[in-house]
Chain A
Amino acid sequence: MSKAAEIDIVSVSKIYGTTTAVHAISLKIPAGTYCCLLGPSGCGKTSTLRMIAGHESISSGDVRLGNTVVTDLPPAKRGTAMMFQSYALFPHLDLVDNVAFSLKMKGVEKDERRAKALDMLRLMQLEAYATRRPAQLSGGQQQRVALARALITDPEALLLDEPLSALDPFLKIRMRAELKKLQTSLGITFVHVTHSQEEAMALADLIVVMNDGRIEQAAHPRVVFEKPATAFVARFMGDHNVISGRITRSEADELMLSVPAGGEFLATGGDAAGLTDTADIAVRTDHVRIGEPSEKGLGFTGSVTNIEYRGSSVKLSVSGAGVEDFTAILSDTEFFANPVKAGEAIPLSWNREDAIVLGRLRN
């Protein structure tokens, strides 16, 4: 229905006084993508979003939306609409006036803008509450009003600042599905800031993992999950054990790593050749099994420090060979066929393709 726009961020920095919140990041978000900016608090993801929206000045670099450079344009002239974390609904206005606010600012006639706002509320299934004030609505309803208010400007890109963080877990999952459905039906670009990797995995076509004002990885969720680019991404996404050590042998695309207490680990892929001295490797927690390794460097023997039963799976924490708190997720059938106890020493192993070399950010 509306035109989507590509968002192009070119070496954009944000500097507050002496601290740099965002370090010259570059990112291209294709038109019609659901993009999630993911990272821990203080990583610069919200600053980035606010710079795209125009609520934060850009210290250096440029932002392009479609074919226009919007770096110095005010928010309303950019063709973006922002949905605020606390929704920022106007408490003194009823839903219709809240949704019609931007039309009123443009000077649209009262009847026309109210009719349009009602249509938008109907789309959000809120027409029954049209004359209520925001305070009389539940969190999920307030969120839909905020969406309606943002979408009535017919934006090319919708920017969402932690839209689900104020909702309870059950509602979070429901609203998540609604957001995805909305994005698919509108076809416009969504940029969604979140610190929940689960949320990002569920929604995004493009996950941008940020840390300390830099982009660690920007890729499809599957790539981010299966081939984390850096140790930070692997740890932040979870489901990977990260092992750091000295490189003892390095060949074309495989390297041997030795950790201080003697263990040796083999890993492949990544830009193994580009690394010297030290490296990080990641091992998928759910691909680890109990048993002797088929090849040297694809496993170790350690003692079980903790066992967590999770229903369909069992989580083992194992320490040994210089590796602390190595996590192995076993399926329940696998575990109960051959149960182990805490304190027991067990061999762990994995396949060649499950250990990958992680990159390092070059600044």
Chain B
Amino acid sequence: MATMTSSETEKIEGGRAKSFRLPPALISYLQAAPLALILGAFLLLPILMITVVSFWDYDFAQMYPDFLTMNYAETLGSWVTWKTYLNTLKFAFLVWAITLFVGFWVAYFLAFHIRTTAMQMVLFLVCTVPFLTSNIIRMISWIPVLGRNGLVNSTLISSGIISEPIEWLLYSDFAVVLAMVHLYTLFMVTPIFNTLMRIDRSLVEAARDAGATSWQTLTNVIIPLAKPGMAIGTIFVVTLVMADFSTVQVMSGGQSASVALMMKNQMSLLQYPAAAANAVVLLVLVLMMVAGILRIVDIRKEL
């Protein structure tokens, strides 16, 4: 009798459990599903499509599904591509070096020389104010400053320092780098500021106690500890510069080229497979650069 009752209750409880509960494994999959769907639909699928299309054939009007390595052969076999890649890498390096230098000192000033947290936040927000306008506007606003009859040239001429306007201020590599530094420095400031704020102030005191000068403290303690922030900033800046086409187009006045600009031109000529092949090559290059940065600096502590 007793055994029957207990098995009956088991049955009832078992039945109830089945109707209300999902297996735990399924629950985990369901929880992961939204992000997986979004990443799948908006990241993996497009990349997959680009990769597939990069092997297709095309003429002036149409694409033909196929499996050709022609697009890659054309892309990698052309000296124009190599020159463009080199030019893009040059921009990336220059912008990286300048934003790292400027970004570190801005972050250092904010983190170590501003005493109150309130003031730190205010100044940090001031840094972000330009970001309330669009990239394009901020870029274009350089034109009246740097142009032939722009602010800089007219000031220099009226003060008698030069007699002819400086030509290389606008529509030059200088203008491209300047605009990119302006656009991307904050991406360097933010992560470095974040790491610097996490440095225990007693470490600086300990260094001072051990007889370190300010410069020695900086090179032996602060910079090594800021490396993860610098690495994250570097990833931001390098990927942004490598993918940039509008800044290069506007600020160089069409005189300089970048990989993304080359792709844009290919697309406007309806050479989608060629652009896709170019995109895959660029993606691989950028991923390799990011992997290289991650190998040098361990950023896991920051995430």
Q: Which residues of A contact B (CB under 8 A)?
A: 53, 55, 74-77, 81-82, 84-86, 88-92, 101-102, 104-106, 149-150, 153
Contacts and interface: CB of A to CB of B under 8 A. Distances in A.
Contact of B202 (A76, A85, A101, A153): A85
Contacts of B211: 75-77, 102, 105-106, 153
A105 B203 contact: no
Given A105-B210, A153-B211, A90 B205 contact: no
B208 interface: yes
Interface stretch (B40-48, B133-141, B220-228): B220-228
Interface of B: 200, 202-203, 205-213, 216, 220-221, 224-225
Nearest to B221: A90
Given A76-B211, A105-B212, A105-B216, A84 B206 contact: yes
Contacts of B225: 91-92
A-B CB proximity, top 9 nearest: A76-B211, A102-B210, A88-B206, A88-B202, A105-B212, A92-B224, A75-B209, A105-B211, A84-B202
Contacts of B206: 82, 84, 88-90, 149
A110 to B, nearest CB: 14
Nearest to A146: B206
A82 B203 contact: no
A91 B210 CA distance: 16
Secondary structure call for the B interface = helix
A16 to B, nearest CB: 13
Contact of A149 (B205, B210, B220): B210
B210 A101 contact: yes
A90 B207 CA distance: 9
Given A91-B225, A92-B225, A104-B220, A81 B209 contact: yes
Contacts of A92: 224-225
A245 B200 CA distance: 49
A232 B65 CA distance: 91
A55 B208 contact: yes
B195 to A, nearest CB: 12
Nearest to A102: B210
A295 B50 CA distance: 103
A102 B208 CA distance: 9
A67 B212 CA distance: 24
A17 to B, nearest CB: 12
A86 B199 CA distance: 13
A75 B202 contact: no
A244 B213 CA distance: 54
A92 to B, nearest CB: 5
Contact of A76 (B200, B203, B208, B224): B208
A148 B191 CA distance: 34
23 contacts: A53-B209, A55-B205, A55-B208, A75-B211, A76-B208, A76-B211, A76-B212, A77-B211, A81-B209, A82-B205, A85-B202, A86-B202, A88-B200, A88-B203, A92-B225, A101-B212, A101-B220, A102-B211, A104-B220, A105-B207, A105-B210, A105-B216, A150-B209
B200 A86 contact: yes
| Residue of A55, A74, A89, A90 contacting most chain B CB atoms (<10 Å) | A90
Contacts of A104: 220
Contacts of A81: 209
A163 to B, nearest CB: 13
A74 B203 contact: no
Given A53-B209, A104-B220, A150-B209, 20 more contacts: A55-B208, A55-B209, A75-B211, A76-B210, A76-B212, A77-B211, A82-B206, A82-B209, A84-B205, A88-B203, A88-B205, A90-B203, A90-B206, A92-B224, A102-B209, A102-B210, A102-B212, A105-B207, A153-B210, A153-B211
A74 B213 CA distance: 10
Contacts of A53: 209
B282 to A, nearest CB: 34
Contacts of B207: 90, 101, 105
Contact of B209 (A76, A85, A90, A106): A76
A105 B210 CA distance: 7
B207 to A, nearest CB: 7
B206 to A, nearest CB: 4
B278 to A, nearest CB: 40
A149 B205 CA distance: 13
Contacts of B209: 53, 55, 75-76, 81-82, 102, 150
Contacts of A82: 205-206, 209
A61 B58 CA distance: 87
A106 B210 CA distance: 9
- Find the residue from B206, B213, B224 having the highest chain A CB count within 10 A: B206
Nearest to B223: A92
Contacts of A84: 202, 205-206
A55 B205 CA distance: 7
A85 B225 CA distance: 20
B208 A74 contact: yes
Contacts of A101: 207, 210, 212, 220
B238 to A, nearest CB: 24
